[in-house]
Homo-oligomer: A and B are copies of this chain.
Amino acid sequence: MARQVDVADLVDRARRREPRAVARLISLVEDASPQLREAAAALAPHGGRAQVIGLTGSPGVGKSTTTSALVAAYRALGKRVGVLAIDPSSPFSGGALLGDRIRMQEHATDPDVFIRSMATRGHLGGMAWATPQALRVLDAAGFDVVLIETVGVGQSEVEVVALADTTIVLLAPGMGDGIQAAKAGILEIADVFVVNKADRDGADTTVRELKYMISLGRREIRGASWRQPIVKTVAARLEGIADVVEAIDTHRTWMAEHGELEERRAVRARTEIEAIAVESLRAKLADVHGDALEGLAKRVMAGEVDPYTAADSLIESIQAST
């Protein structure tokens, strides 16, 4: 498990665009390898170039199909494209069930496309911790565009795609998706809305609902308001994909004009640093103080002590031990 790898060599090879080296570095992130620290140091000078696009939506709206269509569109523009598809950790997801990844296989033999379905270990904040680091690998490896796709509509997933330069929220007609999206808190992170499967009944209703919801919650950033566009697509037939790319470009230009790109990247860096710091503190709590925690949990269960007092004891014990 804890196989030592030559990290400096891996980073060199990743920068020379060897897919296997890129894959190995991302595995270090997934495994939360102790060697990540060394990798991060070697990667640090080589970042900041990739355009990062987040894509999310409820199950069944066509995220993988849309991602695949966007990969093709960016390839046609001569860009190298990396894809991080984030799956919550599942012992079941080891390959066999990743059926919709198959649609991506048209890109499998293209050396300028790198697709990775990434699982994170089941700790809280796992994806917020791992995604920026995986992104850093692809960035240093010279991918011009990195697409981050999250399955699900959960809190962590929303937070992760919100770290992108531009976040696309995908909906599809029917199933009250507009409402579902609103419940999941993804409306406010969208820079671009895509209503996929727009050839189906109800597409216009979805667009109308969405317009109404946008009108309720318009974001104001530094006095300037970005008007979230709604793009209709049929991703399976590549319809509307050029419009999505254009909407992303328009948003990028708008961000540059309003200092927003710099601001978002600062937020991403802060989130990354904070997630690493919190995880490192959490590891201390768990590893060094597992027994203490066990004892405190028993006392909380018995009603002898409240969880805040128990948490204080835990914190005191790590501070005493460093």
Contacts and interface: CB of A to CB of B under 8 A. Distances in A.
A88 B125 CA distance: 14
A156 interface: yes
A44 B286 contact: no
Nearest to A309: B41
Contacts of A315: 277, 280-281
A93 interface: yes
Contacts of A255: none
Interface string A33-63: 0001100110111111000000000111000
A37 B310 CA distance: 11
A151 B184 contact: yes
A200 B154 CA distance: 27
A274 B278 contact: no
A183 B151 contact: yes
A306 B40 contact: yes
Contacts of A280: 311-312, 315
Interface in A85-139: 87-93, 97-99, 120, 122, 124-128, 132-133, 136
Contacts of A99: 179
Given A58-B58, A182-B92, A124 B156 contact: yes
A140 B13 CA distance: 59
Nearest to A162: B122
A88 B109 CA distance: 39
Given A153-B154, A265-B301, 15 more contacts: A44-B306, A45-B303, A59-B184, A91-B188, A93-B183, A124-B128, A124-B159, A124-B275, A132-B307, A152-B154, A152-B183, A152-B184, A273-B293, A278-B278, A278-B285
Closest 10 CB pairs of A and B: A154-B154, A90-B185, A276-B311, A269-B297, A40-B306, A44-B306, A277-B311, A59-B180, A88-B155, A155-B156
